[in-house]
Structures are given as structure tokens and as C-alpha cells.
Amino acid sequence: MRKSLSLLLAGGLAVAPGAAAESPAGAPSEADLLQGKCILCHSAMRVYTMDPAKLKETVERMAAKNPEWFKDVSSRHVVEALSSILKDPNIAAQRASWEEAVARGKALYADRSLGTAGKACIDCHPAGSLARVGEKYPKYDEKLNRYESLEERLATMIVTKLGGAPPFAGDPRITDLGIYLTSLR
């Protein structure tokens, strides 16, 4: 059974035709496998930004965590399918862009010049304390009586806690801070 990965994940992940690995007889195609299993818990962006050097380790961890999901396919097959996806030049470029944004966001997180209070985000929130915070947004704020996005929350913190000017709509600093926080696991 050989299927193209050209229409892969629900999030719009596209891979060059012919990049698919051979599926063992009776095993699901890469598209079925990844859409049916990986996307249950991970966004397409999470797949895009996986570290190719840690694929085997990641798949082994997922297989140990969810053995029933891997009873119909070998871990090697999953690693091969993900490896094919991550080698696509478009996805590699997106991963590089993501890593650059994470680095900029990390630098901003420790930047005391975001405001006039002489403080940085890291002074009140050690990096490890915010693991998975990106998954909590949008979050209902009772004071606002509505849902607030991560970007709105970051802008509010810059103004109220750091003494900074209100960021403009689409400010790339807010985007980079949000990407950095989303990357924390």
C-alpha cells in the first residue's frame, strides 16, 4: 500500500507527492496514521516544529504513553512517515521560521526595555513556570467578562506590569512572545 502525503493533516500540512514511505501490508497509510493519531493531540504546527533529531525518541515516548494507538503500526513506520514530512523544504522553512520566532520571543521575555519599570517577564515568571501556558488561551477573564487571547494578555502585562506603551495591533514582539510561550513544554 503506497499513498501520497500530498493531502495529509487536517491543518493543511502538505508534503511532496512520492515522499511517503512504504506502508507494511495491512498498516494504515501515513495520512491515515498521522491524521488519526497525531492530530488527536497535536496541531499540524506541532508536527511542523518537531525536532527531526528527536523523532525516534518522541515516537517511542508516544507509543509507551498510548500503546493501544500503536498496536496496528510499528514505531519505525511512524518515524519514517514523520521523517518524510519534516524533510519537505516548505515544512523545513516553516520550522526554521518558528525557531527564529522562538529565539526572538525568548530574548524579549528577558528584555527589561519593554517598559519603564526596569522589569522583564522572566523576573516574575521563571521560564519553567509557564510550560504549556499557550494551551490555556483563549481564557475567560471574569474582570473583562469575556475571553482573552494570549496576545491580549501579553499586551496587558507589558502595559500594567512592565510600564510599557500599549503595543500596536499586529506588533511582532507580541507574536514572538506568544510563540515563545507556546513553545514551552
Average pLDDT over residues 33-62: 77
Query: What kind of fold does domain 98-183 have according to CATH?
Result: Cytochrome Bc1 Complex; Chain D, domain 2 (1.10.760)
Q: What is the pLDDT of residues 107-153, one digit of tens each?
A: 999 999 999 999 999 999 987 788 888 889 999 999 999 999 999 99
Q: How many CB atoms lie within 10 A of CB 153?
A: 19
Average pLDDT over all residues of the chain: 80
Tell me the residue length of the chain: 185
Domain extents for the chain?
1-87, 98-183
Contacts (Cβ under 8 Å, ≥6 apart) of 5 = 14, 15, 16, 17, 19, 20, 30, 31, 81, 84, 85
Q: What is the pTM of this model?
A: 0.71
Mean pLDDT is lowest, of 2-16, 44-58, 78-92, for 2-16
d(CA 72, CA 37): 11
Average pLDDT over residues 1-24: 37
Strand ranges (DSSP E) for the chain? Answer: 139-141, 146-148
d(CA 72, CA 96): 33
d(CA 181, CA 175): 10
Using pLDDT thresholds of 50, 70 and 90, give the confidence band for residue 172: very high
The Cβ-side half-sphere exposure at 33, using a 13 Å CA radius, reads 31
Q: How many CB atoms lie within 10 A of CB 151?
A: 18
